[in-house]
Amino acid sequence: MAVPIRTAVAALCAGLVAALCTTVPAQAERRHERTWSLSATAHAPRARISLDDTTGTLSLSVSRDGRPVLEPSPVGIVTEQADLSQGLRFLHRKDRLIAQSYRVMSGKRLAREVRMNETRLSFATAAGARLDLVVRASADGVAYRYVLPATYGDVLGETSAFHLPADAGAWLSTYRVDNEGQFAQYTAATAPTRSYGHQALFETPGGYTLLAESDLTGAYSGARLAHTQGTGAYRIQLADDRVPTDGPLTTPWRAMVTGDLATVTRSTFTDDLAPASEVADPSWIRPGTVLWTWLAGGRPAGQSLAAQQAYVDYAAERGWPYEAVDAGWYFKADEWDTTDPDWQTNSWLPELVAYARAKGVGIIVWIHQRDLDTAEERARWLPTLERWGVKGVKIDFMNSEARSMLQWYDAILPETAAHHLLVDFHGSTIPKGIQRTWPHVMTLEGVGGEEKRTNTAAHLTTLPFTRNVVGSMDFTPGGFHRVGLRPNSDAAEVGLTVAYESGLQMFAGTPESYDVRPLARGFLDQVPAAWDDTRLLAGDPGREAVLARRSGDRWFLGGVYAGAARTAEVPLSLGPGRWLVETIEDGTDGTDGTDGLVRDRRVLAGGDVLAVDVVADGGFAAIACPWRPGVTTCYR
């Protein structure tokens, strides 16, 4: 039977409408599958992940408020059996919100709140090899990692890179295995061809960005940044030529801490990305200030019980909770018969520990990594140190971020925690979330610190925005006796004890150098090593850094400067109300008996400008407390 024309036209129209209704969304879905976006809030950093349909390659870019932070940068990983950097096709996406609260024992603030959006994008090659790209975005950063759900042989490398605008400001340190390179300023493209440390800071139209890692363990390999002059590209270069795998693999986070300078400085993003604490009962973990004796007396002091007892006496007099015994206390250990159960009686350290305990001072001891290299060595040393009553260990000379050394970290971290030993790593990696997972790690070196004789004032004013952003930093400030060997003034040296955060803040000076600077010594008596909050009051990497850190109702300020003398104007952004502010500044002639330091008191309102006269390459320190009638000092 013939179909009426009107009916046929109606059916055709209905078919076209149906086709349009299905075709357009399908095209939109295909476009959606090629580009994905992720952000925590409207004004937070926004990650954009793109899949090239032709090559099957992935790239990631970051913007903030519509301005570029990171240009499209390659993402991918290559193994023996699978090239997961190209030929990828999209499978599916899964999103979730991460909301956490946790506490740490030291750092920029003890109480932390985490809120991050996460997307997991799954891809596969034509041969069926799987790659999951996990991306997280928070108010202060973007991070990504690779998850390989199956074994594809050893990892041969990553194609991961960070492409910055060529003219982006760059503060970089040449890579060293001990992470003690000095920071210098370039642009992203003009930096010389070489490898740089991972804690690289860039300034782009979208703000400041610090590159970092988190959750690095012995399952993988540490990374540095490889750069070729003339480009803005910084490529991930692993410490190992290949990374053995024997099952599914999750790589460390490649993190970008992003925001204005105050946001970057205050950020705990790398800790927020890390696994939760492995220490069930952290009540024995106590940060504190330390009298460090190496720069004060060197190896001879380390070999002398009498000298160490004198240092303990001084720490007790000052109320400093710890004294650190550096190299030399077991200098003749190779002569001991360690097969003898009583071999430890050859050391005078137990006597020192008992002497210090009676005076309320805890002992921290230096020990070479080679003496803790094996399970057998650790089984001899760690229980012995705990039995003696030693409070912590300063372990030195790891000097590697290869997988084998990272596995050593994985072994010693739970062992030191089990024996209630605080840890200070020297000649080490830098913090990569380690202090959240293992809160007894009080500090790490990984910095060109007070021991260096080639530091510059510019380097000192860059550290709060680079190395110290990612975790505690054992710079060992307070080396007042090193006149001519350090680039800064006495008041700046006092300021470093606050500007630099460390769970064990080791003072590097001699008792004599403190005693001839009673104003500096009095300030050091007040300085805590754990903070309730941290704020950047003024900053310009390489030129000035003024940080305020709160303990209870008191704010401690540390300011360091590079360049000519000036009157520094610091916004007192501590909160409403009136504040008594007591500063330690460089004087002019030293005739007041304080070796040139002067103390000033003034009452200011929150938001006022604190004006401080700063000498060339100088600085200041201050304590601010709520003012009310009758309050005449913030010192306690």
Alpha-carbon distance of 314 to 216, in angstroms, equals 39
Helix (H, G, I), strand (E, B) or coil at 10: helix
Based on the residue annotation, tell me whether 451 is a catalytic residue of this protein. yes
DSSP state of 3: P
Signed CA dihedral, 625, 628, 633, 636: sign only: negative
DSSP state of 470: G
Alpha-carbon distance of 525 to 123, in angstroms, equals 57
- The residue annotated as part of the active site, out of 33, 451, 595, 608, is 451
Alpha-carbon distance of 60 to 36, in angstroms, equals 10
Q: Which two tokens stand for residue 325?
A: 């015994």
Based on the residue annotation, tell me whether 113 is a catalytic residue of this protein. no
Nearest Cα to 495, choosing from 572, 561, 573? 561
Alpha-carbon distance of 344 to 336, in angstroms, equals 8
- The residue annotated as part of the active site, out of 271, 396, 493, 501, is 396
Q: How many Cα atoms are found within 13 Å in the side-chain-facing hemisphere of 65?
A: 9
Nearest Cα to 33, choosing from 54, 50, 58, 56? 50
DSSP state of 230: T
Strands 504-507 and 288-292: parallel
């490898």: which residue's tokens?
A: 195
Output the DSSP codes for 81-136: S-EETSS-EEEEEEEEEEEEEEE-SSSS-SEEEEEEEEEEEEEE-TT--EEEEEEE
Catalytic residues: 396, 451
